[in-house]
């Protein structure tokens, strides 16, 4: 099938079946396109929609986002995961607000959190400039269509897919084509049980012809995920306030508020002794697990009720006492928010 025929079949399918009523497609703008593309990285559309709507309501344009405190941005992001996306979104908003929205590939890729595929999607959808993309959905469609074996994240496979994506990306109607390819992967050419019967390019799809749709693309090579164990401290004073500390800007839950963490309960006892804090009661909650992309975190929460301490329990600029009713307005990691909401 020639690139022109491929494009025609994809666009005809999109005209009849493509998604055209998503929140970021209504009164579309470069800001909405950029925001949706960042949110959709490693996150499904159904999960993103309520977050996008709430985000746009609070930060309707780049200026509002750039001028918002990072804490507020992180609070709106809590639950979406991969929090570096939110930090980079805020950094980029400040840069764009002080300059302008780039309309070229290099200019977009120079911004925090924007890679080649995201930049291509923004240029195609927001500015109707022809640029290829290669997100997870498009990788899967093209790998199956050409029966390309191997993990699509491998450099050799990825380079081959970029060449194919570039070959097929049209000059005209590039915005519709880009959206169509993402829709095709998300709705028909799914990871498991693809709906080949309704696929517009099924007649030439080599994976379908060769009966390999179940094994192409190959999954990411499995590796054992280590387990890290921690103790979380829920420190409550006589005013029923909980001590929260702000995590470093980079790393897991970067920039969010969280509970003080320790390797074991003995360290909590030592801290209280060092600070001359009187413990009124202690209770241990059940161990829980939260899985990150590269390790499992098994954490045991301890509720420690104390007499009112002096203010140097933690560094003053990194730790604050909060009432339970205040936590909904903070940028808290989802597991921590759920834990505190149950107290």
DSSP state at residue 266: H
User: According to the model, what pLDDT value does residue 311 have?
Assistant: 55
Q: How many CB atoms lie within 10 A of CB 269?
A: 15
Quick one: 205 and 312 in the same domain? no
Query: Which residues of the chain are under the pLDDT cut of 70?
Result: 308-318, 343
User: According to the model, what pLDDT value does residue 329 have?
Assistant: 75
Quick one: 76 and 196 in the same domain? yes
Quick one: 63 and 203 in the same domain? yes
Number of domains comprising the chain:
2
Interior/surface letters 33-53, b for 16+ CB within 10 angstroms, e for the rest: bbbbbbbbbeeebeebeebbe
Quick one: 169 and 91 in the same domain? yes
For residue 216, what are its two tokens?
A: 């192409």
Query: Do the Cβ atoms of 331 and 78 come closer than 8 Å?
Result: yes
With H, G, I as helix, E, B as strand and everything else as coil, classify residue 136.
Answer: helix
Quick one: 176 and 53 in the same domain? yes
User: According to the model, what pLDDT value does residue 318 have?
Assistant: 67
Quick one: 200 and 146 in the same domain? yes
Quick one: 150 and 236 in the same domain? no
CATH code of the domain in which 330 resides: 3.90.79.10
Rounded Cα distance between 299 and 271, Å, is: 19
Quick one: 158 and 15 in the same domain? yes
Query: Which of 209, 244, 267 finishes a domain?
Result: 209
Quick one: 147 and 290 in the same domain? no
Quick one: 22 and 153 in the same domain? yes
Query: Do the Cβ atoms of 38 and 85 come closer than 8 Å?
Result: yes
Q: Domain residues for 114?
A: 3-209
Residue 245 annotated to the active site: no
Rounded Cα distance between 244 and 326, Å, is: 11
Rounded Cα distance between 313 and 114, Å, is: 40
* Whole-structure pTM value: 0.79
Element (H, E) at 86: helix 84-98
Which one is catalytic: 4, 37, 67, 238? Answer: 37
Query: Do the Cβ atoms of 25 and 48 come closer than 8 Å?
Result: no
């Amino acid at each position: 099938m020639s690139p022109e025929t491929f494009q025609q079949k994809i666009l005809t399918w999109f005209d009849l079946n493509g998604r055209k009523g998503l929140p970021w497609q209504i009164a579309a703008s470069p800001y909405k396109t950029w925001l949706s593309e960042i949110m959709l990285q490693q996150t499904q559309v159904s999960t993103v929609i309520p977050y996008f709507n709430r985000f746009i309501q609070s930060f309707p344009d780049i200026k509002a986002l750039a001028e918002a405190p990072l804490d507020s941005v992180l609070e709106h992001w809590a639950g979406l995961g991969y929090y570096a996306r939110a930090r980079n979104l805020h950094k980029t908003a400040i840069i764009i607000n002080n300059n302008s929205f780039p309309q070229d590939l290099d200019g977009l890729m120079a911004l925090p959190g924007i890679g080649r595929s995201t930049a291509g999607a923004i240029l195609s959808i927001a500015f109707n400039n022809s640029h290829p993309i290669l997100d997870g959905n498009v990788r899967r469609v093209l790998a199956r269509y050409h029966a390309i074996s191997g993990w699509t994240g491998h450099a050799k496979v990825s380079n081959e897919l970029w060449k194919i994506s570039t070959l097929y990306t049209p000059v005209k109607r590039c915005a519709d084509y880009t959206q169509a390819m993402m829709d095709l992967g998300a709705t028909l050419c799914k990871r498991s049980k693809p709906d080949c019967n309704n696929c517009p390019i099924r007649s030439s799809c080599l994976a379908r012809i060769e009966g390999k749709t179940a094994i192409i693309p190959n999954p990411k090579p499995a590796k054992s995920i280590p387990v890290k164990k921690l103790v979380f401290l829920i420190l409550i004073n006589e005013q029923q306030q909980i001590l929260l500390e702000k995590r470093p800007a980079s790393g897991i839950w970067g920039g969010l508020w969280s509970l003080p963490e320790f390797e074991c309960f003995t360290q909590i006892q030592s801290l209280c002794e060092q600070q001359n804090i009187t413990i009124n009661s202690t209770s241990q909650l059940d161990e829980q697990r939260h899985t990150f992309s590269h390790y499992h975190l098994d954490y045991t929460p301890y509720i420690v009720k104390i007499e009112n301490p002096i203010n140097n329990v933690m560094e003053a600029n990194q730790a604050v006492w909060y009432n339970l009713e205040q936590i909904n307005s903070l940028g808290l990691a989802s597991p921590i928010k759920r834990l505190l909401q149950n107290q």
